[in-house]
Structures are given as C-alpha cells and as structure tokens.
Amino acid sequence: NAGVMQNPRHLVRRRGQEARLRCSPMKGHSHVYWYRQLPEEGLKFMVYLQKENIIDESGMPKERFSAEFPKEGPSILRIQQVVRGDSAAYFCASSPRRGTNTEAFFGQGTRLTVV
C-alpha cells in the first residue's frame, strides 16, 4: 500500500510563473489536507478537501492560491504568479474519513523555490 505521494519533490519557478503541486492520497483515503512549512517554522494548515469539495479553506491566502480534489486524479494546489515569499515546503496529508485525524499520513512534501 503506497503512502501519500507528492510530486514534484522539488519545483523551481521564476517570479510571476504558476506552480502546480500534486498530491495522491493513500489508497482508500478520500480526505486531503494541505500544509505549508516555511523555513525553520512549523506547519501551517492551508486547506482541507474531500473528493470534489472544499471543506475548510480558512488557512488559504485570499489571492493567488487555489486547491481542488477532483473525482478522479490527485489533489492539486495551484499558486498563480508566485512571489519569493511562496518559497516553502508544501505537505499534504490524507485520511480515510472525517474525524480520523489519528489515521492521517503525510507525504514527503514539495519544496518550492521561487527565484
């Protein structure tokens, strides 16, 4: 049973470009969480999605950031017109259903560098 898969592992973008980060949850998991980790800091919650639904986006910046989790395929975190401050590690976690954060597993993250 493969774990949470994130790709790419490393992504370099120039200022103003778009970044697309993908997260494939564990088999049987239909809930996905995205977190951002700035250098030397803890993880900050961004968004929680269930298949085809955004459940909680209270941690998402108001502009340039969006997330989706379609019926088929991975969850996508999209950052438009990236700026240097977006440089961070982005982690997703998946769980089988709501109320099971004890069963949430994290991926290895995507490290975004904006140059």
Instruction: Give the residue with the Cβ less far from another protein, 18 or 56.
Output: 56
Q: Which of 108, 89, 105, 101 minimizes the C-alpha distance to 46?
A: 89
Q: Which one, 52 or 56, has the nearer CB to another protein?
A: 56
- Cβ burial 39-72 (10 Å sphere, 16+ → b, else e): eeeebeebbbbeeeeeeebeebeeeebebebeee
Whose Cβ is closer to another protein: residue 48's or residue 65's?
48
Q: How far is the CB of 42 from another protein (least distance, A)?
A: 4
Q: For binding to another protein (CB under 8 A), which residues are involved?
A: 4, 31, 33, 35, 40-45, 48, 55-56, 59, 91, 95, 98-102, 104-109
